[in-house]
Structure 1
Amino acid sequence: MMDKAPGITTSPQYAVPKTMRAWVLGDPGQLIAIEKPVPVPGRAEALIRIDAVAICATDLEIIEHGSPASILGGLPFNKNFTPGHEYMGTVVALGPSVDEFSLGQRVTVEIHAGCGQCKRCRQGMYTSCLNYGRPDKGHRANGFTTDGGFAEYAVNHINTLHPLPDGMGDAEATLAVTAGTSMYGLTELGGLVAGESVAVTGPGAIGLLAVAVAKALGASPVILTGTRESRLAIGRELGADITIDVRQNSAVEAVRKLTNGIGVDYVVECAGTEDTINEAIRMTSRGGKICLAAFPHTLANADIAHLVKNNIYVFGIRGEGRSATRRALALMADKRFDATKIHTHTFPLAELPTAIRYARERIDGAIKVVVVPAGSQSEKVEAARTTNSPRMHV
């Protein structure tokens, strides 16, 4: 099919079938495996053979409640939509006039390609595109508003593709968006964190990589708070100077004590509860900054008066804007931190519902669960690792 499409660049070396296996939304909470046509890249697009895709908490929300575009727009649940946004793979076809990438090139992706013409996109805030959810205006958010990575192939805008270094494995490459989200949060706080104190609340995937990115950027000390010792231990491996188990200590009192009563310069709030938001407010120094990287699912009461009286700035982030994925990927390529420490399980694409269950229920300590299509290089590598790791399921 590809070699007959006008202007499409393909190669027999990377033969593209007419159809592919993909998972789509059925009723809320339901995924259905189907055979569907392989998408065709258009102008400024490339077709990616997906080699690995990680499961994000947002994927779980989309499976249960629908895509963000349908939720925000009050539209019906988006059946037949393919979720999945944290993927990497190999370029196997190029759209008309695309010469920025080569066939056979390994790439990782970021989610959002803004319309490129609205005020926010022109500011580099394409994750806050004012035409969000409108492909007719040029907006794409793979796995959010347009078909994503729980399939064998996906089309991506070239602005969302990032070349991978030869030494980076497929599973590690799927974590670039997670690290990019953490990088975006620190960017919005000002980016100049070298020598500044940073507290991260919530040792989920974004929180753990926020620790790693903050440490790689020179923050000191980096403090991580959470309720699970196993997660806090990973945080220490990723660079946390101090970890606080909030089941045994007050996070605010502990942070205040560590900072001589002043509080930290920056807080990256990654837990998304009313309690942790107010803890973030109370552990921030006067004139400090808070990034809300997670959000509660119900209205939260927050101590706004404390924010105002103490001149504390609050920033909310969505996704991985301002080219943060590219910058986080540079740190990963330079081995400034080992993102694979949060990769705990691998499943074949055919067992996606099981992989989703592991991620949702945190079975066997699951943090990042990676899914690989049958026959991919990732599957072969992970199958070899399975013999040495009981936490890999292939």
Structure 2
Amino acid sequence: MTTMKGVFLPGDFTAVLRDVEVPTPGPGQLLVRVGASGICGSDLSYIYRGHKTHVGQEGPAYKGVVAGHEPSGQVVETGPGCRRFGVGDRVIVYHISGCGRCSNCRRGHMISCSDPERRSAYGWQRDGGHAEYILVEESTAVPLPDELSYVDGALIACGFGTAYEGLLRTGVGGRDDLLVVGLGPVGLAAAMIARGLGATRVLGVERSAERAAHARSLGLFDEVLTAADGVAEALDEATGGRGCSVTMDCSGSAAGRSVAIRGAAEWGRVSLVGEGGRLETEVSDLLLHRQLTLYASWVTSLQAMEELAFRLVRWGASPQRLVTDVLPLEQADEAYRLADSGRTGKVCLVPSLDR
């Protein structure tokens, strides 16, 4: 029996490395050697700090499996019936396996699979990417272009896909300026993607001094403002009092969402992608009288993730630029502490730093 190292999250602010069996692919499955696996903010809030239950579900969402829902890697073995991918192919793993039959799955939105018995998320209900190998349903694999690294692929697997979908809903393009609130990994991804989509100007708002400095260093923003008492006035000054035609909240906080709504121009479009928290707003003056449209978006579709990967290549954009820390599996506990500090950019795990 061959074993490998895998990372588990007990829910007490620690990450634990254990020996697990290397799986064997069954019908329609791929065994993927993990090249990189990202640490996501939703894992921090729902698993790492304590095992939380989603509304309407019984028991914690995390089922004690190998963690990590942002993997990319290379196929090393295929099970019977696989048709699209073969040994040697580089793939991104869409992080939900669905029933494949409901309307959401048939549209590629496995994230919203309506069959609770068949829907399973990598790193939550089935073994994820914080390991040397991951067993993947072929239907959840997305091609990773040769021009992109495994770290690039890990970022596309969740954060970049989330930002892309949120921007697509608003139709952002060459006639738009964009305000991004919350400059963690998803907010930074939104800025990079918006540049590719043609946004004329990108502004950012961030409360963490370290994250604001990191955002400025990337050259993706025309201006980064500090989230403070005077941020509304600073936005008015930066936009000539007009606001931005598109705004996106990636903070997941009531205060951040208020800034995104307040910073939108008349007839503006507001995209909400940050998980958690509440939405608290005055309706008439801020929403109705300014004719705003609000979009709520959760992750992205399988097709859009594949489209994004190839668009990033055409744009010459590298998601890996947003990463501040890459650590081996053996340092998973340190990696999670770094990510949970909120002071860094993206943190990724790799099975071995020489790969």
The Cα of 1:100 is off from its aligned counterpart by 0.6
Q: What is the CA–CA distance in structure 1 between the aligned matches of 2:17 and 2:142, rounded to whole Å?
A: 29
Q: What is the CA–CA distance in structure 2 between the aligned matches of 1:107 and 1:165, rounded to whole Å?
A: 8
The one-letter amino acid of 1:302's match is T
The Cα of 1:55 is off from its aligned counterpart by 1.1
**TM alignment of 1:1-394, pairs within 5 A:** 18-26=2-10, 28-61=12-45, 62-66=47-51, 72-76=56-60, 78=62, 80-131=64-115, 133-135=116-118, 139-177=119-157, 178-190=159-171, 192-236=172-216, 237-247=218-228, 250-297=230-277, 299-305=278-284, 306-321=286-301, 323-362=303-342, 365-374=343-352, 379-380=353-354
State whether residues 200 and 224 of structure 1, in contact with CA within 8 Å, keep that contact through their aligned partners in structure 2.
yes
CA gap 1:159/1:68 in 2 versus in 1, 3 angstroms: farther
The Cα of 1:59 is off from its aligned counterpart by 1.8
Q: What is the CA–CA distance in structure 1 between the aligned matches of 2:63 and 2:107, rounded to whole Å?
A: 33
State whether residues 27 and 79 of structure 1, in contact with CA within 8 Å, keep that contact through their aligned partners in structure 2.
no
State whether residues 165 and 300 of structure 2, in contact with CA within 8 Å, keep that contact through their aligned partners in structure 1.
yes
Q: What is the CA–CA distance in structure 1 between the aligned matches of 2:52 and 2:77, rounded to whole Å?
A: 27
CA gap 1:52/1:68 in 2 versus in 1, 3 angstroms: farther
The Cα of 1:349 is off from its aligned counterpart by 0.6
CA gap 1:78/1:168 in 2 versus in 1, 3 angstroms: closer
Q: What is the CA–CA distance in structure 1 between the aligned matches of 2:273 and 2:244, rounded to whole Å?
A: 17
Secondary structure at 1:175 match in 2: helix
Secondary structure at 2:125 match in 1: coil
CA gap 1:253/1:324 in 2 versus in 1, 3 angstroms: farther
State whether residues 94 and 302 of structure 2, in contact with CA within 8 Å, keep that contact through their aligned partners in structure 1.
no
Secondary structure at 2:354 match in 1: helix
Q: CA RMSD in A?
A: 2.4
> Following TM superposition, where does structure 1 have runs of at least 4 consecutive aligned residues deviating by more than 4 angstroms?
76-79
Q: What is the CA–CA distance in structure 2 between the aligned matches of 1:107 and 1:304, rounded to whole Å?
A: 44
Q: How high is the sequence identity, in percent, across the aligned residues? A: 28
CA gap 1:76/1:169 in 2 versus in 1, 3 angstroms: closer
Q: What is the CA–CA distance in structure 2 between the aligned matches of 1:76 and 1:121, rounded to whole Å?
A: 23
TM-score scaled by length of structure 2 = 0.89
The one-letter amino acid of 2:274's match is A
Q: What is the CA–CA distance in structure 1 between the aligned matches of 2:168 and 2:97, rounded to whole Å?
A: 19
The Cα of 1:287 is off from its aligned counterpart by 2.1
CA gap 1:209/1:74 in 2 versus in 1, 3 angstroms: same
CA gap 1:353/1:118 in 2 versus in 1, 3 angstroms: same
Q: What is the CA–CA distance in structure 1 between the aligned matches of 2:301 and 2:330, rounded to whole Å?
A: 32
Q: What is the CA–CA distance in structure 2 between the aligned matches of 1:63 and 1:157, rounded to whole Å?
A: 25
The Cα of 1:179 is off from its aligned counterpart by 1.4
The Cα of 1:39 is off from its aligned counterpart by 2.4
State whether residues 192 and 220 of structure 2, in contact with CA within 8 Å, keep that contact through their aligned partners in structure 1.
yes
TM-score scaled by length of structure 1 = 0.81
Q: What is the CA–CA distance in structure 2 between the aligned matches of 1:154 and 1:67, rounded to whole Å?
A: 24
Please say which of residues 119-128 and 176-185 is displaced more in the overlay. Answer: 119-128
Secondary structure at 2:34 match in 1: strand
Number of corresponding residues: 351
State whether residues 250 and 273 of structure 2, in contact with CA within 8 Å, keep that contact through their aligned partners in structure 1.
yes
The one-letter amino acid of 1:92's match is V
The one-letter amino acid of 2:263's match is M
Please say which of residues 331-340 and 200-209 is displaced more in the overlay. Answer: 331-340
Q: Deviations over 1:322-363 (max 9, x none)?
A: 53322322233235323222211122112211111111124x
Give the number of the structure whose alpha-carbon radius of gyration is greater: 1
Q: What is the CA–CA distance in structure 2 between the aligned matches of 1:72 and 1:356, rounded to whole Å?
A: 28
Aligned to 1:389: none
The Cα of 1:260 is off from its aligned counterpart by 3.4
The Cα of 1:199 is off from its aligned counterpart by 0.6
State whether residues 196 and 220 of structure 1, in contact with CA within 8 Å, keep that contact through their aligned partners in structure 2.
yes
CA gap 1:303/1:45 in 2 versus in 1, 3 angstroms: farther
Q: What is the CA–CA distance in structure 1 between the aligned matches of 2:104 and 2:83, rounded to whole Å?
A: 27
State whether residues 290 and 313 of structure 1, in contact with CA within 8 Å, keep that contact through their aligned partners in structure 2.
yes
The one-letter amino acid of 2:194's match is A
Q: What is the CA–CA distance in structure 1 between the aligned matches of 2:78 and 2:331, rounded to whole Å?
A: 30
Secondary structure at 1:291 match in 2: strand
CA gap 1:161/1:123 in 2 versus in 1, 3 angstroms: closer
Q: What is the CA–CA distance in structure 2 between the aligned matches of 1:278 and 1:27, rounded to whole Å?
A: 31
